[in-house]
Amino acid sequence: MYEPAATLKTACGSPCYAAPEMIAGKRYHGLRTDIWSSGVVFYAMVCGYLPFEDPKTSNLYKKIMSADYSLPKFLSGQCKDLVRKILNTDPETRYTVNDIRSHTWSLQVKDRNRDMGLFPGKEKMPVDDKLFHRLLEEFNFDRKYAVKCIEDNRHNHITACYHLIDKRNRKIKDRQESYSLTKYDFKKKMRMGTNVKDP
Distances (CA, A) of 169 to 45, 103, 125, 156, 172: 32, 38, 19, 20, 5
95: DSSP letter: -
CA proximity to 65, closest of 82, 84, 89, 92: 89
When pLDDT is cut at 50, 70 and 90, the band that residue 126 belongs to is confident
**In the CATH scheme, what architecture does the domain 129-195 have?**
Orthogonal Bundle (1.10)
Q: The domain at 7-108 falls in which architecture?
A: Orthogonal Bundle (1.10)
Q: Mean pLDDT, the chain, as a whole number? A: 84
What are the boundaries of each domain within the chain?
7-108, 129-195
Radius of gyration of the chain (CA): 25
Residue 86 contacts residue 31 (beta carbons within 8 Å): no
pLDDT computed for residue 84 by the predictor: 96
Reference 46, options 66, 73, 64, 13; nearest CA is: 73
pTM score, whole prediction: 0.58
